[in-house]
Structure 1
Amino acid sequence: FFSFSINTFSFVWIFQYFTIMEPPKDKWNIVLLIFILHGIGTLMPWNMFITAKSYYVDYKLGGSENSTSASNYAANFLQYHGFAAQIPNVVFNWLNVFLNLGGDLKKRMSLSILVELALFVLTVVMAMIDSSNCSGAFFWITMITVVILNMAGAVYQNSIYGMVATFPFRYTGGVILGCNICGLLVSLISLPLNKFFIYKELSRKADDNENVKNSDIPYWSIFKTASIQLLNVFMIFFVTLAVFPAVNSDIKASSADFFIKDPVMYVQYTCFLTFNLFAMLGSLTSYWIQWPGSKYLIIPVVLRLIFIPLYLFCNYLPMNVDRRLPVIIKNDWIYWIIGVLMAYTSGYYSALAMMYTPQTVEQNFQVKAGMFAGAMLISGIFCGILFSFLAPYLV
């Protein structure tokens, strides 16, 4: 009992110290760096699979003896992967908003990361197995892995957006920046040792305990108040995923004189490298420039819908499809410029929308607003991927 009393007294003293003191500065931007790394981690599974398209399509599935099924798996791999990834992603993002899946936010994130690590090990083991005579089994094991991976990833991503929503808005921009520079290794940094993070966490818990109970959260009121920014988040990612990577990676060079001769390298440069680089630069720009404001952001977001027909009128040649529409954009440089603009606006406007969303509600409800934004982000991705299934039929 005496030990319990001492521990309780110590916790109360620490809590009072951190809550009555002035908010400490994020010295050397350590907390910002941590959220950038979390942003990298949330989209790492997605980016690793989509950038390995050639490995799955040309090597693991394209070289199988079972040509009929292998051809189907190879031709639609990114669509199948998108479907397998985003259905559980959407479902568990929304479930995580309303239900406590695995405890508080930090516990949910820790468990999710452990599940992802285990599945990454399985993915590496699968790469070592000769699947040339069992392409069907390899394909479906991969898809099951993707489903479970994105169930865990959804909880992780949604929890991050909920946690960062109570921080100054540039930290939300840090998560988005991390998402767009995904590909770097996540470093292990101890969060509890940073007093800035401890202060924010204790302040958030105090507000939660004193003002808000889970059963009393006005979900509809929060959603309605933040609806314009939530629509912005949805639309940005819908347009982006409607064309990237499924449509984007099936656009071929129009001119034999273009300086990138190799078809595989053409896709790597004009699709994946271009998108990841300029989406990152767009996110980075949002640190210094926040224009337009929250009221008028909806205008350029809606105008981004023009990218869908622009991509379809490029030299888009999906596998096993005879194109009927004429190719209007025959200049590879113009196509590349369109890709740069799409990627840059995706990174820039998504960062702005995610920054603005928590600012539309009262401080007590910023966590839920951030989680709603995360769920709308994934919903936009999912709907964009569903739309990409229609793209071959539209041309």
Structure 2
Amino acid sequence: MQRNEETRTSSSIDEKVSTITSDTSTTADDLNLHNGARNPKYAPPDRYNLAFIIMVFLGMGGMYPWNFFITAADYFHFALRNVTHPEGTTPYQRTFENALTIIATSCGLVGIVCSTLLTRYLSVKLRAYGGFIVIIIIFTVTTVLARVDTDSFQEGFFIITMINVFIINFASNIVNGGLFGLQGCMPSKFATAFMVGQTFAGIFAALSSVISVLTNRDETDQNSSIKNQAVGYFASAIGATTLCTVLFAVFLRLPIVNFYFNRNDEKVINASDEKPVEKPKTPLKMIITRTWPYIGTLILTFATTLSVFPAISVMVKSTNAASGSLLNNALFLPVACFVVYNVGDFSGRFSHGLLQWPNPQQGILLFVIAVVRTGLIPMFLFCNAAPRDHTDAVFGDAVFITLIAVLAFTNGYFGNAGIMYGPKVVPPEWAEITGAIMGLCINVGLVLGAAFSFALLFCL
């Protein structure tokens, strides 16, 4: 009899999903399928928008490892320089960005897979706290290394740095996997807050790079200045990550978070004997069937982006560099590439949170647009990237900046759509793991894009 009741309950949920998804006016929050006490109408208010604001900070915390390491490129190139002939380059300098990208994205994929699998065994609290602690430890080690003279062991420094990159990105994706699942249990505005927070981390790092150039241009001891700036970078990352850990503890105690998440995180209790009942097996076939357009959209969106950013985009030089101006030389890459990208990415994520177009019922349209977006890739190959052997540069600075802006805006817009809609088209008890799967898809796209970027370098 109990089995029949469970079957009827499951059929009822499926009928709700079918009814809601057939209504083209349905919003993302309508697809939450909350019922009874979990209906958003009965949710406690988010006083002072505190939960929303903390979710922005948590999004930033998960992206600090990637952004702080790529922003400190000047420091790493200095530490890996040719000591005897400073005008020359070393193999470590030439391969640093590619090695960083491949290691960060591949271990990120492993981390998000582990986080998805651990949803059945470890709570999001343990995963997030553990990940934040590891991130703080690795940033501390990196800060100490920035104070050490590493000229005598550059090979060891390179290996230690790559190990740190692996560990810290693994930990950050354990954190992100849990947070993807957490926001999947809540109204769609929290998905926007999380994604916007990730972009804020990039904006902060990009502006730090600009400030670094401006403050160092008149320094007589350039080498000491670069190392001191690196210490400032990583020390501030320690403080920011510590703040995120504290805010996460506050977040979990907010009434609105307890309303949505703790009910979804409770163990199923048998009403007759009140003994814990094992959580039912995850219905992956059902989840994939309902979310495949968003899975495809996320993979294509992030694969397209990482194919050209930063691997190709950081090689682009201003066509007006001969003018000698600071903006066309030292500031060109930080501003035209990183600042424009991160502002565009933020604008895209924020815009989708407001517009929510295409709507949740137009997943196939979303996927088709993501396919069309791959046409941006060959256009970057004709920007003024150097060195190049097989093609000629066709586009000037204005076209390059426009391409970066379009790439960034669409990355934020469609990335936010996939993350927001995926967990909303499944029953609420599977929203957390669906959110984690959406995070996994992002990392699959990042790995594919990083691998494809190597092939594109040979096309220049």
Report the TM-score range of the alignment, normalised by the length of the smaller protein.
0.7 to 0.9
Question: Larger deviation: 183-192 or 79-88?
Answer: 183-192
Structure 1 equivalent of residue 341 of structure 2: 275
Structure 1 residues 260 and 208, CA, compared in 2 at 3 Å: closer, same or farther? farther
Structure 1 residues 192 and 362, CA, compared in 2 at 3 Å: closer, same or farther? closer
Contact conserved, 1:237 with 1:346, CA < 8 A, in 2? yes
- Matched residue of 1:287: which SS? helix
Given candidates 44, 49, 66, the residue that maps to 1:46 is 66
Question: Larger deviation: 70-79 or 308-317?
Answer: 70-79
Distance, in Å, in 1 between the alignment partners of 2:290 and 2:413 is 23
Contact conserved, 1:87 with 1:382, CA < 8 A, in 2? yes
Structure 1 equivalent of residue 174 of structure 2: 155
Deviation at 1:208, TM superposition (A): 5.7
- What do the CA deviations read for 1:51-109 (whole angstroms, capped 9, x no partner)? 1222212x111243498996221112111001111221111211221235972111110
Structure 1 equivalent of residue 304 of structure 2: 239
Structure 1 residues 223 and 389, CA, compared in 2 at 3 Å: closer, same or farther? same
* 2:32 corresponds to 1:32: no
Given candidates 249, 254, 264, the residue that maps to 1:194 is 254
* 2:263 corresponds to 1:203: yes
Contact conserved, 1:290 with 1:352, CA < 8 A, in 2? yes
Structure 1 residues 137 and 64, CA, compared in 2 at 3 Å: closer, same or farther? farther
Distance, in Å, in 1 between the alignment partners of 2:314 and 2:397 is 14
Q: Which amino acid aligns with 1:49?
A: F
Q: Which amino acid aligns with 2:143?
A: V
Deviation at 1:127, TM superposition (A): 0.8
Given candidates 260, 274, 293, the residue that maps to 2:359 is 293
Distance, in Å, in 2 between the alignment partners of 1:314 and 1:163 is 41
Structure 2 equivalent of residue 304 of structure 1: 373
Distance, in Å, in 2 between the alignment partners of 1:386 and 1:66 is 32
Structure 2 equivalent of residue 251 of structure 1: 316
* 2:42 corresponds to 1:22: yes
Structure 2: 5+ residue stretches without partners: 1-36, 205-239, 271-275
Question: Larger deviation: 342-351 or 106-115?
Answer: 342-351
Contact conserved, 1:65 with 1:133, CA < 8 A, in 2? no
Distance, in Å, in 2 between the alignment partners of 1:286 and 1:212 is 40
Structure 1 equivalent of residue 224 of structure 2: none
Distance, in Å, in 2 between the alignment partners of 1:293 and 1:259 is 46
* 2:132 corresponds to 1:113: yes
Superposition TM-score, scaled by structure 2 size? 0.76
Structure 1 equivalent of residue 212 of structure 2: none
Task: Kindly report the root-mean-square deviation, in angstroms, between the aligned alpha carbons of the 2 structures.
Answer: 2.5
Structure 1: 5+ residue stretches without partners: 1-17
Distance, in Å, in 2 between the alignment partners of 1:213 and 1:234 is 33
- What do the CA deviations read for 1:315-359 (whole angstroms, capped 9, x no partner)? 1114xxx42211121x21111111111111111111111111112
Structure 1 residues 127 and 143, CA, compared in 2 at 3 Å: closer, same or farther? same
Given candidates 118, 122, 135, the residue that maps to 1:103 is 122
Structure 1 equivalent of residue 435 of structure 2: 370
Given candidates 81, 86, 99, the residue that maps to 1:62 is 81
Structure 1 residues 66 and 119, CA, compared in 2 at 3 Å: closer, same or farther? farther
Figure out how many residues of one structure are paired with residues of the other and give that number: 373
Contact conserved, 1:176 with 1:351, CA < 8 A, in 2? yes
Structure 2 equivalent of residue 313 of structure 1: 382
Structure 2 equivalent of residue 15 of structure 1: none
Structure 2 equivalent of residue 390 of structure 1: 455
- Matched residue of 2:458: which SS? helix
Structure 1 residues 31 and 98, CA, compared in 2 at 3 Å: closer, same or farther? same
Distance, in Å, in 2 between the alignment partners of 1:220 and 1:116 is 34
- What do the CA deviations read for 1:285-322 (whole angstroms, capped 9, x no partner)? 1221112224121232112111111111111114xxx4
Contact conserved, 2:186 with 2:261, CA < 8 A, in 1? no
Structure 1 residues 208 and 286, CA, compared in 2 at 3 Å: closer, same or farther? farther
Structure 1 residues 105 and 72, CA, compared in 2 at 3 Å: closer, same or farther? same
Given candidates 318, 332, 345, the residue that maps to 2:410 is 345
- What do the CA deviations read for 1:193-224 (whole angstroms, capped 9, x no partner)? 31111212232124866799545111232123
- Matched residue of 1:216: which SS? coil
Structure 2 equivalent of residue 9 of structure 1: none
